[in-house]
Amino acid sequence: MNPVCSLFRASIGKKFVMAVTGVVLVGFVTGHLVGNLQVFGPPDKINGYAHFLQSLGPTLWAVRLGLLACVVVHIGIAVQLTLENYRARPEKYDFNHTIRATLSSRTMRWTGGVVLAFVAYHLAQFTLGWAQSGSFKTRLPDYIMTSDFHLLGFPIVAQGQVVHDVYSMIFLGFANPVVSLFYIVAVGLLSFHLLHGAESLFQTLGWKSGPWARLLKKIVALYCLLYLLGNLAIPGAIMTGIVKPAPGTYAAAKLEAAAPAATVVQR
């Protein structure tokens, strides 16, 4: 029998593939957060970073397709394992034996489903631009770099170069309370999902054993907390006005123009 087929047929093989795809996806969401946090810096930072990613062309699409494949495989195996567990135990016990199971472990499929819906919406709004809302539903003008953008010390985007205005897109997107609330709920559920998922992948890969078990549990909990706070900081700071768009940017002009109209509606 083909070793690959055998891997997907055996339960332990499925769990191993699920763990590996989980590692890839955890790495992606972590890198995605680090990139998004650049919105707190000058517009050149995140706009230059976004332009660098877009300039990768076919390489970027290869990465996207690889990530999509990981998502499909991860979800597919999760569904298979759930069905296998159900077939092995079709009738519920008279007594609830989930006392030792954590809440995050018992809600994995529900949090995973909500997170999947959020990812689809997030891509539609911030990557494809299909779900911009309200008075901000317009094509953003391009942004002219006011300084050079360097990555790891290497010049990537030159001053004066025309790039997409991702900075304004993020500010205008999270200025909408509905979008921000949906994002906050979704990243909260994602963090909750990771709380059990990351710990499980360590166990599947054989790293959660002996004296490491308790330490890994604390590391996972700390990571999930920092990931949650980092993601909440972006919509929270923008929606509350703690952080305002840089003067002269399209986001600053658009939000300033919308402010009087919002005041009239509140009255």
Q: Is the pLDDT assigned to residue 72 strictly greater than 90? A: no
Q: Is 100 strand, coil or helix? A: coil
Q: What is the pLDDT of residue 20?
A: 86
Q: Dihedral, CA atoms, 127, 130, 134, 137, nearest 10 degrees?
A: 80
Residue 167: closest CA among 90, 250, 85, 108: 250
Span 183-204, pLDDT tens digits: 898 888 888 888 877 777 777 7
Span 143-186, pLDDT tens digits: 999 999 998 888 899 999 999 898 998 898 888 888 888 889 88
CATH of 3-90+101-258 among 3.40.50, 1.20.1300, 2.160.20, 3.90.550: 1.20.1300
Helix (H) or strand (E) holding 154: strand 154-157
Which tokens hold the place of 45? 């930072």
Mean pLDDT on 196-218: 74
pTM above 0.85? no
Residue with the larger pLDDT of the pair 46 and 196: 46
User: Computed from CA positions of residues 28, 84, 90, 200, in that sequence, does the dihedral angle turn out positive or negative?
Assistant: negative
